[in-house]
Amino acid sequence: MAESWVNSAERIGADLHLEMETSGAGGRRAALIRALREAVRSGRLAPGTRLPPYRSLAADLGVARNTVADAYAELVAEGWLNARQGSGTRVAERAEPPGAAARVRPKAPPRARGPRHDLRQGTPDAGSFPRAAWAASYRRALQQAPNEAFGPGDPAGRAELRHALAAYLARARGVRASPERIVICSGFAHALRLLFTSPGGVLRGPLAVESYGLDFHRALLAAAAVTTVALPLDEDGAQVGALGRERAVLLTPAHQFPTGGPLHSARRAAVIDWARARGGVIVEDDYDGEFRYDRKPVGALQGLDPEHVIHVGSVSKSLSPALRLGWMVLPERYVDGVLAAKGEREAWASALDQLAFADFITSGAYDRHVRRMRQRYRGRRDRLVAALAAHAPHIEVTGIAAGLHAVLRLPPGTEQSTVKAATWQGIALDGLAEFRHPEAVTSAPDGLVVGYATPAEHAYGAALEALCGVLPPG
* Residue 450, domain CATH: 3.90.1150.10
Distance between terminal CA atoms of the chain?
82
Q: Is the pLDDT of residue 63 over 90?
A: no
Which ranges in 2-123 belong to alpha helices (H)?
Answer: 27-41, 54-61, 65-78
Buried/exposed code over 349-358 (b: 16+ C-beta within 10 A; e: otherwise): bbbbbbbbbb
Domain assignment present for residue 102? The answer is: no
Is 185 a domain residue? yes
Spell out a b/e string for 307-342, using b for 16 or more CB atoms within 10 Å of the CB, else e.
ebbbbbbbbbbbbbbebbbbbbbbbeebbebbbebb
Rounded to whole angstroms, the Cα distance separating 93 from 82 reads: 9
H/E stretch holding 6: strand 2-7
Same domain, 52 and 87: yes
CA 235 to mean position of chain CA atoms: 31
One domain, residues 360 and 376: no
CB-CB contact of 455 with 246 (8 Å): no
> What does the mean pLDDT of the chain come to?
88
> Is residue 387 pLDDT above 80, yes or no?
yes
What is the pLDDT confidence band of residue 101, given thresholds at 50, 70 and 90? very low
- Same structural domain for residues 314 and 409? no
Query: Is residue 399 within 8 Å of 258, Cβ to Cβ?
Result: yes
Q: Give the DSSP letter of residue 92.
A: -
Based on the fold, state whether residues 188 and 302 are members of the same structural domain.
Answer: yes
Rounded CA gap, 188 and 55, in Å?
Answer: 55
Dist. CA 9–CA 409, nearest whole Å: 66
Tell me, what DSSP letter sits at residue 427?
E
Same domain assignment for residues 382 and 248: no
Question: Please, are residues 349 and 356 in contact by the beta-carbon 8 Å criterion?
Answer: no
Helical ranges in 257-323 per DSSP H: 265-278
Instruction: Indicate whether 138 and 56 sit together in one domain.
Output: no
Answer whether residue 111 is part of any domain: no
Q: Cα angle at 273 between 272 and 277, to 5 degrees? A: 120
Beta strand segments in 177-296, E? 182-185, 207-210, 228-231, 233-234, 237-238, 248-251, 281-285
Based on the domain organization, do 178 and 262 belong to the same domain?
A: yes
- Check: CB of residue 93 under 8 Å from CB of residue 47: yes
Average pLDDT over residues 389-411: 94
CATH of the domain at 82: 1.10.10.10
Cα Rg, the chain, nearest whole Å: 30
Q: What is the pLDDT of residue 22?
A: 64
Task: Evaluate whether 351 touches 149 at the Cβ level (below 8 Å).
Answer: yes
So what's the pLDDT on residue 432? Answer: 95
Residues 310 and 406 in one domain: no
**What Cα–Cα distance (Å) separates residue 155 from each residue in 113, 316, 473?**
39, 20, 54
Q: Are 119 and 427 in contact (CB under 8 A)?
A: yes
Task: Report residue 94's pLDDT band, with 50, 70 and 90 as the boundaries.
Answer: low
3-state secondary structure of 14: coil
CB 155 within 8 A of CB 344: yes
Sign of CA dihedral 124, 126, 127, 133: positive
- Give the pairing of strands 237-238 and 207-210: unpaired
| CATH of residue 332 | 3.40.640.10
Q: What is the pLDDT of residues 260-311, one digit of tens each?
A: 889 999 999 999 999 999 999 999 999 877 888 876 778 899 999 999 999 9
Helices (H) and strands (E) in the chain, counts: 13, 19
- Please say if the pLDDT value at position 77 is more than 80: yes
Question: What is the structure's pLDDT at 414?
Answer: 96
Total residue length of the chain? 474
Q: Closest Cα partner for 470 from 432, 429, 425, 409? A: 425
- Residues 171, 266, single domain; the answer is yes
Quick one: 177 and 38 in the same domain? no
Amino acid at 309: V
Considering the domain architecture, whether residues 347 and 384 belong to the same structural domain is answered as no
54-61 and 65-78 helices, crossing angle to 10°: 120
User: Sorting pLDDT into bands at 50, 70 and 90, what band is 8?
Assistant: very low
140-166 pLDDT per residue, tens: 999 999 999 999 999 999 999 999 999
55 vs 258, higher pLDDT? 258
Whether the pLDDT of residue 99 is over 50: the answer is no
Q: Give the domain range for residue 228.
A: 128-367
In a domain, 190, yes or no: yes
Number of domain units in the chain: 3
- Answer yes or no: is 144 within a domain: yes
Has residue 237 been placed in a domain? yes
Do 400 and 357 share a structural domain? no
206 in Cβ contact with 228 (< 8 Å): yes
Residue at a domain's end among 320, 348, 367: 367
